[in-house]
């Protein structure tokens, strides 16, 4: 196990571009999160497509953009708008949004002037939830990218020599996992430590809590990468598939905003994503709620990590150890 770990260090020295990319991506994610979280709060960005002669909408807490025609649904998915409102000359409004039903109801209250705008909750997020939401997608992508150490061994048939040698195969997989965990976790913690000492930046949580939460999502990243590379042969194929899945699942799980459409099937899919459970834990910790509130989500993440690592170990052992 130690020999594999040391060998990974030497191999990574030849991949300076990956090391630089790791630091840049994580730093950019934190900078973007701090920037967007520090902007003046707005309850929502609304696109208004009104017919000629229809009453316009004005609000002090909503950013309203008047358009000649209704924008495509993809604008909602990209989070350019929180909702699209279409209005006709008779004063009827129709609201389209992918956010929660309560969000839609509060918009309806503003339109009908039946509720106080000061009570509007909008879609704001805490600083910690915003930072870790942005970081999650990049951490997951970096895990997939760094797993080339394991994927290359398979592609170049080095793993067959490992399987035939009198060494622990579990230790071989563990060494890769621990090394990749460190290459993702340490730069993330370094960047957060730098951000924590910059005047005017409040990260929302103490650094030690960030350290624990980072360990959790880095564990998910490594487990997912092992799982993916045990199924897919070829570094390029695994990277492309993993990157696509990471972007899609991170968006659906709410890494950048709360993605809720009211579709029962979609909601079920979102609930089984480890990232969704992670964001639940982050929001609970940031709200200073009792840890028991997020215990089911925490247990789900741990079970998901064990399940993905276990599957990768069993499948890889069957493919290479038992086939010899």
59 burial level (CB within 10 Å; 0-12, 13-18, 19+): middle
Give the pair of three-digit tokens for residue 274: 């480890």
Mean pLDDT score, 73-100: 77
pLDDT at 65: 78
**Residues near 168 by beta carbon (within 8 Å), at least 6 away in sequence:** 1
Residue matched to tokens 């048939």: 157
Higher pLDDT, 174 or 110: 174
Of the spans 18-27, 55-64, 125-134, 307-316, which averages the highest pLDDT? 307-316
Range 130-149 average pLDDT: 87
Pull the structure tokens for residue 248.
């899609």
Q: Is the pLDDT of residue 115 over 50?
A: no
Q: Residue 26 pLDDT more than 60?
A: yes
Whole-model pTM? Answer: 0.74
């Amino acid at each position: 196990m130690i020999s594999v770990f040391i060998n990974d260090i030497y191999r990574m020295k030849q991949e300076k571009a990956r090391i630089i990319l790791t630091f840049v991506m994580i730093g950019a994610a934190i900078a973007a999160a701090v920037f967007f979280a520090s902007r003046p709060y707005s309850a929502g960005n609304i696109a208004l497509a009104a017919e000629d002669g229809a009453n316009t909408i004005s609000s002090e807490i909503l950013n309203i953009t008047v358009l000649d025609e209704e924008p495509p649904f993809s604008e909602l998915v990209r989070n350019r708008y929180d909702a699209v409102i279409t209005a006709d000359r008779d004063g009827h409004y129709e609201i389209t949004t992918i956010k929660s039903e309560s969000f839609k109801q509060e918009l309806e209250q503003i339109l009908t002037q039946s509720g106080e705008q000061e009570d509007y909750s909008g879609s704001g997020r805490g600083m910690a939830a915003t930072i870790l939401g942005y970081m999650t997608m990049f951490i997951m992508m970096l895990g997939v990218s760094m797993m080339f150490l394991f994927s290359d061994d398979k592609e170049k048939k080095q793993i067959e020599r490992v399987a035939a040698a009198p060494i622990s195969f579990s230790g071989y997989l563990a060494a890769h996992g621990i090394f990749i965990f460190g290459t993702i976790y340490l730069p993330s913690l370094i960047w957060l430590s730098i951000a924590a000492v910059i005047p005017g930046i409040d990260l929302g949580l103490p650094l030690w809590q960030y350290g624990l939460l980072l360990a959790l999502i880095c564990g998910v990243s490594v487990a997912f990468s092992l799982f993916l590379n045990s199924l897919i042969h070829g570094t390029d194929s695994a990277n492309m598939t993993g990157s696509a899945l990471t972007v899609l699942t991170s968006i659906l799980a709410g890494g950048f905003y709360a993605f809720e459409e009211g579709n029962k099937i979609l909601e079920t899919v979102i609930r089984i994503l480890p990232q969704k459970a992670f964001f639940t834990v982050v929001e609970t910790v940031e709200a200073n709620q009792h840890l028991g509130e997020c215990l089911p989500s925490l247990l789900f993440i741990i079970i998901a990590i064990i399940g993905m690592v276990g599957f990768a170990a069993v499948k890889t052992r069957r493919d290479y150890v038992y086939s010899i």
